[in-house]
Structure 1
Amino acid sequence: METCEDNKGMNEPLLNTPSKLQGGLRTLPFILANEGFERAAFYGLEPNMIVYLMGNYGLEMATGSNILFLWAAATNFTPILGAFLADSYVGRFPMIAFGSIFSLLGTMLLWSTTMIPGATPYKFESVANTNPSPTPFQLILLFSSFGLMSIGTGGIRSSTLAFGADQIARNGVDENAKPNCVGLLESFFNWYYFSVSISVLFGLTCVVYIQDHAGWQAGFGVPTLLMLLSVVSFFLASSFYVKVKPPKASLLTGFAQVIVASWRNRHYEFPSELNVDKVYHVVKGSTLEFPSEKLRSLNKACIVMDPRQDLTPDEMVVDPWRLCTIDQVEDFKSIINLIPLWSTGIMMGVHANTTSFRVLQAFSMDRHILTPTFEIPPGSFGTFGLITLMFWLILYERVIIPMASKVMGKPVRLHVMTRMGIGLLLSFACLLVSGIVESIRRDMATKGEILEDKTSSTVPMSALWLVPQVCLFCLAEAFSAIAQIELFYSEFPKSMSSIASNLQGLGMGIASLFASLIITVVDCVTKKFGKESWVSSDINKGHYDYYYWILAGLSLLNYIYFLFCSKAYEQGKRDLQDTKGISDA
């Protein structure tokens, strides 16, 4: 059975008392460079990997795609696992260090497959009509490289945001310490997204170009070099980092104790009068003397029925699975209160899954720009959005906020709820624009300009009409995604910062499943009775504009849902502040 000592870690300082030489803004470039180089390496490898698997391993398109799907799934899952381990057991600095080394080993192993004789079945220049299958050793080598990179990605991406925020909060020495400047935290999250955008842009353009024109050895050697730079940049400042200690007892264990204790104590009666010294268990040094009224049933977890049985002579808990502290209960409530707000971001993830539709649209449109000989690749229209995102972040940080602060005569920042709401509205507007553009494109394709069944023909409509929707979506991400991460980090208990900064990724994973469900339902319903599906493989016969408008309707409903959630959350925060005010009085 857990002793009372197990819960002491919940209340011990999570930060070593930092010296004046530790933490601060000067450590952030090293942290951002670490993930920036990793992102450039990963997104430089991803686009052409199917070509490498088919050309050098002789795999079919379906087989290669399934392998890459599993790799992507593992890469999206490992940051959640890494966040849990970092917050509960390992710590953020060791987790990033561990992840950086594993990512480097993974890229080195993948690079070696282009140089070691016999590492792949054959090369592009192999004799025609020979189609050797990869051996178990060759597949083990390939899958090991993917596995190492996924593990490394989980280590780096799970903890970078929280670790960087720890450096900003270097003067905090208790578990609830938050950065003493909300604007500084917001700026860090903005610059994090800016650096990631540059890295992704570099990977999708320069690294892919090298693979196309200089071959696989150079094309995979560059990501390996980028990962080496990632490792070096992170360890260069290792002596200057503030390093957070994980709690002796996992906070998730503490939350489980709240659930179990409230259930075991469900028959307890609430006191008619508040006598906090005898009724509720208050941890020493806490600012709370009794719990808030919201989610009142959980308050039974901290009711002391018999001090002689429930507490030791020095007022420590005898059985933490029957009696919890008020702080444990209120921390758990704060996370439950955030779940509805977190769920409002799932619709943004569903919207993000329409990228493949834009590629289909771009294929059927005029992609020439500047000269008759240059065409924008269909998959490259996302670069317009990345450039818009970077431009907006610079404009917001360096022009809009300073000017607004100067006019108001005090520091001005857009409230996190305001930014989330703006992001959701921009997402709704983007879907409306997408539907209108697709409706125009389809009308031009079906009114004689393109003959039936010639889906490869080009509609006399510039593909640049796709740019506004790409830019609107990236602006929506800039507002909503960054605001969500800032909210989670600020409101979650300090010892769950890594998990907080990865919750949006979890939402994206759920959004992918939800998007799959929506498109399956639309496909099944609209192709009944022999009709053409709205999401037909022939984009000119389908009705992708209707699909966009369905998503727009869901997005509008999601915004209304967000308004209710934000109002309820703000009311809950006010109730908690009132409780603290009464306790202080």
Structure 2
Amino acid sequence: MSETAGGISPADDQTRQPTTARRKGGLKTMPFIISNESLEKVASVGLQANMTFYLKKQYHLTNSAAANVLFLWGALSNFTPIVGAFAADSYFGRFRVIVVGTLVTVSGMLVLWTTAIFPTARPQSCHAKHCDSPDHGQLLLLFTSFILMAIGAGGIRPCSLAFGADQLSDPTNPRNERTLQTFFSWYYASIGISVIVSALAIVAIQDQFGWVIGFGVPVALMVLSAVLFLIGSPAYVRVPGDSTLLTSFGRVVVGAWRNRGLTVPPRDSDRWVCGQESKLVRPTDKWRGFLTKHA
């Protein structure tokens, strides 16, 4: 047996290395990612579908007041994903943002569940022609639950689909595009089924068994969502955040501000340039931006 200069044979060196490296990502991670988003949809949509009735009957809010509360909750839930996506891409990565969003959503549902469990969390006195309005503490508890769930949605919704694509992105695989299309199809199909199940099953449970069980089921589903997602964490591909995105955006803003005083040259000016494949040789009224030869 021949030996190398270091006294270790090639055969011995091979035995010291793992025979196969466990590849992360792939289809094995899909059940954990899809279940996280699907169970979050079941839990959140199930709460929203019957929330107007809950606010009217339990908090004695008028139709307009209940509608305003739900509108603000929905608006905040649709805004926070912008912040969550930016935080994931620029700083923390999608995995961490999804984990934090899931845990925050669970905490918000727990707070909402307490409003159904404890009678003192809601106004109690209701006479034939008058019902007591909720006090500041009761409203604070209710709004805290909505805010927490909206923040949690900002961590889950913008990152789940992209995080799933991270697991399947493999440029060396000739069938990679087909695999991604299959994942997207199953992802959106699961979301649609989740919404249908949530609108039917969760509302039926609330009507049949009351608010304590009706709110407890979404909490249990959200906890299950968090557990399943964390179970699959050893197999995930985790793409780190790229802080240069913020730097690039800042440069664009600064450059635009510095060039705010530039004037558009005449249409026949030789300062206009265009690519060889461009069909536009002169500025149009629809697009007034321009590039100079010294840009």
Per the normalisation by structure 1, the TM-score is 0.41
Within 5 Å, give how 1:78-477 maps onto structure 2. 78-122=80-124, 128-169=128-169, 181-249=176-244, 251-258=245-252, 260-261=254-255, 297=290
Within 1, Cα distance between the matches of 2:104 and 2:83? 15
1:90 Cα offset (Å): 1.8
From the superposition, tell whether residues 167 and 129 of structure 1 become closer, same or farther in structure 2 (CA, over 3 Å).
Answer: same
- Counterpart residue type for residue 224 of structure 2: L
Deviation at 1:21, TM superposition (A): 2.9
1:170, 1:242 within 8 Å by CA — same for their partners in 2?
no
Q: Deviations over 1:43-100 (max 9, x none)?
A: 1111211111111111111111110111011111111121111111221001100100
CA contact (8 A) 2:272 2:290 kept: no
Deviation at 1:122, TM superposition (A): 2.2
- Return the letter of the residue paired with 1:248: S
Any idea what SS the aligned residue of 2:123 has?
A: coil
Cα deviations by residue, 1:136-165 (Å, 9 ceiling, x for unpaired): 110000000000000011100010111000
Q: Deviations over 1:156-201 (max 9, x none)?
A: 00101110000011568xxxxx997222222211111101011111
- Point out which structure has higher relative CO (alpha carbons under 8 A, 6+ apart): 2
Contact kept, 8 Å, 1:179 with 1:185, in 2: the verdict is no
Residues 99 and 151 in structure 1, CA contact (< 8 A), matched pair in contact too: yes
CA distance in 1, matches of 2:240, 2:276: 28
Instruction: In structure 1, give the amino acid aligned to 2:223.
Output: L
Which residue identity is paired with 2:225? S
Change beyond 3 A, Cα 1:271–1:41: closer
In structure 2, what is the equivalent of residue 24 of structure 1? 26
Amino acid at match of 1:231: A
Count of residue pairs the alignment pairs up:
258
Distance (Å, rounded) in 2 between the aligned partners of 1:154 and 1:139: 23
Residue aligned with 1:158, SS:
coil
Where does structure 2 lack aligned partners over 5 or more consecutive residues?
Answer: 1-20, 264-269, 281-286
Task: Note the aligned Cα RMSD (angstroms).
Answer: 3.0
Deviation at 1:263, TM superposition (A): 7.8
- Cα distance between partner residues in 2 of 1:192 and 1:298: 42
Opposite residue 33 of structure 1, the aligned amino acid is S
For 2:60 and 2:246, locate their aligned partners in 1 and report how far apart those are by CA, in whole Å: 46
SS of residue paired to 2:166: helix
CA distance in 2 between counterparts of 1:299 and 1:213 reads 70
Q: TM-score, normalised by structure 2?
A: 0.78
Amino acid aligned to 1:108 = L
> Residue 103 of structure 1 contacts residue 148 of structure 1 at CA under 8 Å; is this kept in 2?
yes
Query: Quick one: distance in 2 between partners of 1:138 and 1:297?
Result: 57
AA matched with 1:122: Q
Give the 3 Å change call, closer, same or farther, for CA 229–245 of structure 1 in structure 2: same
Alpha-carbon separation, structure 1, partners of 2:190 and 2:196: 10
Query: Which consecutive unaligned segments of at least 5 residues does structure 1 have?
Result: 1-18, 173-177, 273-289, 304-585
Quote the offset at 1:257 in angstroms. Answer: 2.4
Aligned match of 2:72: 70
Distance 2:77 2:209 in 1: 27
Cα drift, residue 270 of structure 1: 7.3
Evaluate the alpha carbon distance shift between residue 259 and residue 99 of structure 1 in structure 2; reply closer, same or farther with a 3 A threshold.
closer
- CA 163–54 in structure 1, closer or farther in 2 if over 3 Å, else same: same
- The aligned amino acid for 1:163 is F
In structure 2, C-alpha distance between the alignment counterparts of 1:75 and 1:27, rounded to whole Å? 27
Alpha-carbon offset, residue 230 of structure 1: 1.0
Percent of residue pairs bearing the same amino acid type? 45
